[in-house]
Structure 1
Amino acid sequence: MSTISKVAVAGATGLLGKPVVNQLLEDGFTVTVLARKGASHDFPSAVTVAEVDYEAPATLVKALSGQDAVVSAVGFAGLLQQIPLIEAAVKAGVKRFVPSEFGGDAENDKITELPMFVDKRPVKELVEKEAAQGRLTYTLVSCGPFLDIAVQHGMLVNFKERKINLWDGGERPFSTTTLAAAAKAVTGILRHPEETKNRVVFIRSASLTQKEVLERAKKAAGPEGWTVETPSVAESLRAAYADLNATGVVNRFAFVVSAIWGEGYGSNFQKLDNDLLGVKELSDAELQTLIEGFAK
């Protein structure tokens, strides 16, 4: 496969999209951001902004013409909008599509059985179909939960209230990655198109248990005054499905918890592409410093 140099980014204003854009620029790629018409934005001057309408495929094809790759960093609400984006990428002759996977083990179909993640399935099926026909190549990124976001927003540990849930006792290890490392993996994929062609890549910044998170949190904020609970993942999942059936409301937190700490979801990756993609695991000191940064 020829070199990839021109990259279009969808979801560029999101939590992951911003570091992806910045990393692409830093690593020498030419970046075009796909933006909705009339949307406000503040991108670096080196970025080209292409206004698109996801309900007008011609605008997507026009924006993607001449692009070597598309990286999607859209959030959950925009997952299905990747369908017309993939179709446009095929028509425009794009070489590589990186969908907004960026979660648990993308080879584990159990994850996409959860209502929170079900919209990832048709996206994966479409890129696989197009790849099988030789019209597009793809790479899916499995990175686990974003470590910095999970700590910042209290999902791993709540420093403000000094609370933590040790799901199922907190001894199940899981892989987790920082936003910066995930962005670095994207540029690594595009620099190694043949090695990453039509497959899932696995990365992580750390492998942890929640008990280890608690010990690090105590070291960061002091050992006293913590409220520690040990809820059941299975019970939480049953309650979430009961609520969904009764109200139609998706309890996002419960389904994310299941994907990370539930049995059988493969959340602690056994094979890694860190070295290939230039992603480094955090040292013990670096991990502690990151956690301490959110304890203040």
Structure 2
Amino acid sequence: MTNRKTVTVFAATGVAGSACVEELLRQDLFDVQVLVRASGQQEKSSSGLLNAEDGKKKRWDDWQRRGVVVRSADVTDHASLIPALEGTDYLVSCVPLFATESQYPLIWAAKEAGVERFVPSEFGFIYDWEQFWPTDNAHKTAARQKVFIRKMIEMAGLDFTIIPAGLWIEYFMAEPVAVMGDGNTRFSWSTGRDVGRIIPHILAHPASRNAVCPVAATAYCTWNELLEIREGLLGRKVARNYLSNEDWKRIYAAAPDGPMKAILGIGVAATECPEGMALWANWNALHLPGFRGTPLETLFPEYIEPRVSELQGALG
């Protein structure tokens, strides 16, 4: 009988992180730990939506009752992080886009603590390619940083698993929906919850070691197909604008700095990527045929529509 690996999840109370922990518990293939920030440490959010401290405490208590080990550390300090990561085999980071830099101390501490594999927070495009696309924007800057983080992981002698997950549906459904291109290009679609759910399945697959695993955690379809399903559920037409790369660049240039500008940068990047590149690949269809994303008929009314309303309020 082989020893069970221990997976530690950082930023575990966000949408993806929470779903990851829950799926690890349901899957029951790994021992589970969560790494939490020392009390009072500020976290960052890509949307402006932050979990209340009391809500986090309730979640940590619930996980502990179910066998999860909760370890607290000053996540900016290597001396605090090293003992917190001891015993970890796989370290999974679910930090949001604007907290990407918080992973730097984790890499060094993981090396010192004997961690075997680091799964950095990617979950978007294939950044190795996006860093070379022609138009500079805030998201391309993040792409270059994520590529640098992967190089640091390799330099530290750690294994890695990179999980590009395409477009997160909840960020792009505010009306009028800004469609990337003519709506007929197939995209990998994910939600934060399904990204979290798929991570444990990817980790358990031998093909994920030192690999880039581009997934469609929720759906693999065109914009038009996705919006037609939404219209059928809403019983009305969904207002939409079809935007070319030139349109996206113009809108991006006019936008004020802030979270929305980075999201607009995703539109610039997506419309510069030709269909057929592995950016839109469906790794899970090949390696995880038993995994199913949340059905869109359930996802839209129960998660997407409420989430869109929350994000609109947070982004103003």
1:261-286: CA deviation from partner (whole Å, max 9, x where unpaired) = 44448476245234434663559xx3
CA distance in 2, matches of 1:270, 1:94: 29
- My pick for the range that moved more, 90-99 or 49-58, is 49-58
The CA distance in 2 between the partners of 1:30 and 1:81, in whole Å, is 24
Match of 1:221 among 234, 256, 268: 234
3-state DSSP of counterpart to 1:34: strand
The one-letter amino acid of 2:188's match is S
Match of 2:283 in 1: 272
- Does residue 256 (structure 1) correspond to residue 273 (structure 2)? The answer is no
- Which residue is equivalent to 1:287? 296
Q: 1:111 to 1:208 in 2, by over 3 A?
A: farther
Q: Structure 1 residue aligned with 2:244, among 232, 244, 247?
A: 232
Q: 1:128 to 1:189 in 2, by over 3 A?
A: farther
Q: TM-score if structure 1 supplies the norm length? A: 0.80
Once the 2 structures are TM-superposed, how far is the Cα of residue 86 of structure 1 from its aligned partner? Answer: 0.7
CA, structure 1 residues 120+3, in 2 after alignment: closer, same or farther (shift >3 Å)? farther
- 1:80 to 2:101 alignment: yes
Asked whether the 8 Å contact 1:140–1:199 carries over to 2, the reply is yes
- Cα distance change, pair 3–157 in 1 and its aligned pair in 2 (3 A): farther
* 1:221–1:115 distance in 2 versus 1, CA, 3 Å: same
Shift of 1:23: 1.0
Which ranges in structure 2 are unaligned for 5 or more consecutive residues?
41-52, 307-316
Contact 1:207/1:268 (<8 A) preserved = no
SS of aligned partner of 1:214 = helix
Measured in 2, the distance between the counterparts of 1:25 and 1:65 equals: 20
Q: Distance in 2 between matches of 1:50 and 1:11?
A: 12
**Contact 1:185/1:279, CA 8 A, preserved across alignment:** no
Deviation at 1:137? Answer: 0.2
State the shift of 1:207 in Å: 1.8
Cα distance in 1 for residues equivalent to 2:251 and 2:278: 22
After TM superposition, give the deviation of residue 142 of structure 1 in Å: 1.1
Q: Cα 1:210–1:267, aligned 2, differ >3 Å: closer, same or farther?
A: farther
CA spacing shift, 1:241–1:166, aligned 2, 3 Å:
closer
Q: Tell me which residue corresponds to 1:181.
A: 194
Query: What is aligned with 2:81?
Result: 60
Alpha-carbon RMSD across the aligned residues, in angstroms, is: 3.1
What is the alpha-carbon distance in structure 1 between the residues aligned to residue 293 and residue 155 of structure 2?
37
2:113 match: 92
Deviation at 1:85, TM superposition (A): 0.4
- Alignment partner, residue 10 of structure 2: 10
Distance apart, 1:218 and its partner CA: 2.3
TM-score, with normalisation over the residues of structure 2?
Answer: 0.76
How has the CA–CA distance of structure 1 residues 103 and 219 changed in structure 2, closer, same or farther, with 3 Å as cutoff? same
Structure 2 residue aligned with 1:35: 36
In the other structure, the counterpart of 2:69 is: 48
One-letter code aligned to 2:235: G
SS of 2:12's partner is coil
User: What SS does the aligned partner of 1:259 have?
Assistant: helix
Shift of 1:191: 1.6
8 Å CA contact 1:171, 1:209 repeated in 2: yes
Q: CA separation of 1:31/1:174 partners in 2, compared to 1, >3 Å: closer, same or farther?
A: same
1:170-209 to 2 correspondences below 5 Å: 170-192=183-205, 194-204=206-216, 205-209=218-222
Alignment of 1:156 with 2:177, yes or no, is: no
| Shift in Å, 1:184 | 3.5
> How far, CA to CA, are the matches of 1:267 and 1:242 in structure 2?
30
Deviations 1:207-240 (A, max 9, x none): 222222232222122245x533223332222442
Matched positions, count: 279
Kindly tell me: are residues 9 and 216 of structure 1, through their superposed partners in 2, closer, same or farther at Cα, counting changes over 3 Å? Answer: same
The structure-2 alpha-carbon separation of the partners of 1:77 and 1:180, relative to structure 1 and needing over 3 Å to count, comes to: closer
Inter-partner Cα distance in structure 1 for 2:160 and 2:132: 20
Using the alignment, how far apart are the partners of 2:130 and 2:243 within structure 1? 25
CA contact (8 A) 1:175 1:206 kept: yes
2:162 is aligned with 1:140: yes
Structure having the larger proportion of residues in helix: 2
Instruction: Note if contact 1:174-1:261 (Cα within 8 Å) is conserved in structure 2.
Output: no
Letter in 2 for 1:87: W
Are 2:129 and 1:108 equivalent residues in the alignment?
Answer: yes
Relative distance call for 1:114 and 1:267 in structure 2 (3 A) is: farther
> Structure 1 residues 90-99 or 27-36, which shifts more?
27-36
**% identity of equivalent residues:** 25
Would the aligned equivalents of 1:32 and 1:48 in 2 still touch at CA under 8 Å?
yes
Contact 1:69 1:97 in 2 (8 A): yes
